A and B are shown apart, each in its own frame.
Chain A
Amino acid sequence: MTYQVAQEQPKQLQLLKVLGPVHIWALGVGIVLVGEFMGWNYAVGKGGALGALIACWVIGLLYTCVAMIDSEITSTVAAAGGQYTQAKHMIGPLMAFNVGLYLVLAYTMLEAGDVQVAGQLLQIGAGNFGYNIPWQPFTVMTLMILAFINYRGVFVTLSVNFVITAAAFCSIILLVIGTEPWNPGAVLLHKDLLTQLPYGWIGVLASLHFGIWYYLGIEGTCQAAEEVRSPGRALPMGTMLGIITLLIAAALTWYVCCGLLPWEYLGWDNELAPLYDAAHVTGNAFLTVALFVGTLFSAIASANGCINDASRAWFSMGRDRYLPTWFGAVHPRYRTPFRSILFLIPIAAIFALFIPLAQVITFSILSGLLNYTFMPINMWKFRRMWPLGSIQRGFEHPFHPLPAITLFVLCTVTFFAVYLGYGRQLLAMMAFYIIASCWFAFYRYRFVKRGDQFTMPWPRPQGY
């Protein structure tokens, strides 16, 4: 069989336009909902239970700004690659290369965390039946199955995501109902379990780091922009509904877990699945099974969406020659970026198998944070170079530049939050991006076709 490289074809193979608002919601929430099932609890470790709640609200504000900005730009720049394609049109190739890497690493590391959790959870499940087996084969098997589904096609991928995301969300609702929040003290024990801020306000600041995990990946909705039937309607609607879903799920998750588990346990680096543990301590077998399934489904849905998003960003960079053009191939039958899908899977597998969860998550968070720092710059340039009325926008977000300024300030504070406790990992990540940037600017850029980077049918940007 011969495969076609999109770059070199007289007529490029295009991705199929089959997605609606429900798929966009499922892609966004499907990736992110796992953040309620694992990872957010490390915010409790860094700042205590109340610190994590404040982080949940503050970072919720950060993501509201992200969703507002993203909805306007993505519904206008409706092309695969999301923020990567936006950076090409608004800032320039080196920024676009970096944004592409942010997306790929954020999703690949999230995917690694997801399959690590899926594998370890299956090990716990087998242990409950008396079988002591390793988790690593489950992790690799999960990754292989999801890679195959993604290889076969985006419609199947996101339809599967919709079903399992909805099931995972329902398991949180079941747990909330089962813990009788209308009857304080019966099951939920906030009065005795909530403590003062263990590290004071600096701990609250530090917990913003993992507060990101409640919502990380919602911006992935715009990765599918090229495959959406009606971008102007589906992208803003799917993204905004996704944020609302996540705000509700995050609040419920915090309330239930902090009413059932001591904060030191909840925030421990090796605590894998807080909602499952919360269900476990209720002593209710039905809830325990429901949250086992919910956690597993959320991890699988998230990994599924991450493979989809990371491969599309990598594919776009290959198609634009930011990376070897070999990656810019579309499968002639399934119309998927199959080489990018297959290339990224082993990287996710190695990080999943050998790096602790909190640190895998931190790599994902840092890449996401760098991407959010780019967004206000992007938004400001977008409005300056193409003021309202100069081009057709699918959606115009209100109160500009307030969301952009708020987002920039919150990103700066969150970098400091990561520095507190994870400073060396922050420097390792920056070293990666600085070396990669030098590599692109002084070597790889020579392979990039200049004029081809601007593909939107817009007038010349003002000021250039």
Chain B
Amino acid sequence: MVQRYVPPKQSVAMQLFDVAFLLALVFGALFLPIWLKIAVPSRVEKLPPGVSYQTAANGTKTWTGLSWEKLGQNPVMQAQWKKLGYTKEQAADIITQPFQYDVDVIGIGSTAIVVIGYFAFMLFMSEKEYKQVVAEKFGERRI
């Protein structure tokens, strides 16, 4: 005969503490890294040959050598940018910020270890817990 597990009662204060912990986890792990600009998309600035700019104190950019052609835009593309209300200077702010894909073996390896380790831990602990669930629901298995 399997003994039925009776969980402890949880006080209202401890329930509130649990909720606060989960909220802190959501904001600490997910919100803060982005808010503090630690976890941002890996875009880099790549200017076409012969193109440069200077930034004024108020953040305004003054471009040198910039043209639609140097940005790789054919006449149809240029027309579409203009319909969207963009000048070549405004378009340059977008076009010169491509993604940089670094296939860093150590980075990939450590990320893979984190993901695989997470699933391995979860499946291992779940299996232990599931056996307790089945044992209480259906009784201990007779061999």
Residues of A within 8 A of B (CB): 45-46, 88, 91-96, 98, 105, 189, 192-193, 198-199, 202-203, 206, 260-262, 264-265, 268-269, 277, 280-281, 283, 321, 323-326, 343, 347, 350-351, 354-356, 358-359, 363, 373, 377, 415-416, 419-437, 439, 441, 444-451, 453-454, 460-461, 464
Contacts and interface: CB of A to CB of B under 8 A. Distances in A.
A421 B16 CA distance: 38
Interface string B66-95: 000000011111001101101000010011
B58 interface: no
B134 A464 contact: yes
Nearest to B135: A450
Interface majority SS (helix, strand, loop, mixed), chain B: helix
A430 B115 contact: yes
A428 B34 CA distance: 9
B76 to A, nearest CB: 4
B80 A260 contact: yes
Given A92-B126, A262-B81, A265-B84, A424 B33 contact: yes
Interface of B: 4-5, 7-8, 10, 12, 15-16, 18-19, 21-23, 25-27, 29-31, 33-35, 38-43, 73-77, 80-81, 83-84, 86, 91, 94-95, 98-99, 101, 103, 107-108, 111, 114-115, 118-119, 121-123, 125-138, 141
Interface majority SS (helix, strand, loop, mixed), chain A: helix
B42 A447 contact: no
A423 B111 contact: yes
Contacts of B30: 363, 428-429, 432
A426 to B, nearest CB: 6
A-B pairs, top 4 by smallest CB distance, nearest first, are A92-B126, A92-B130, A451-B136, A192-B76
Given A264-B94, A430-B114, A435-B29, 4 more contacts: A92-B127, A206-B99, A265-B80, A424-B33
Contacts of A450: 4-5, 129, 132-133, 135-137
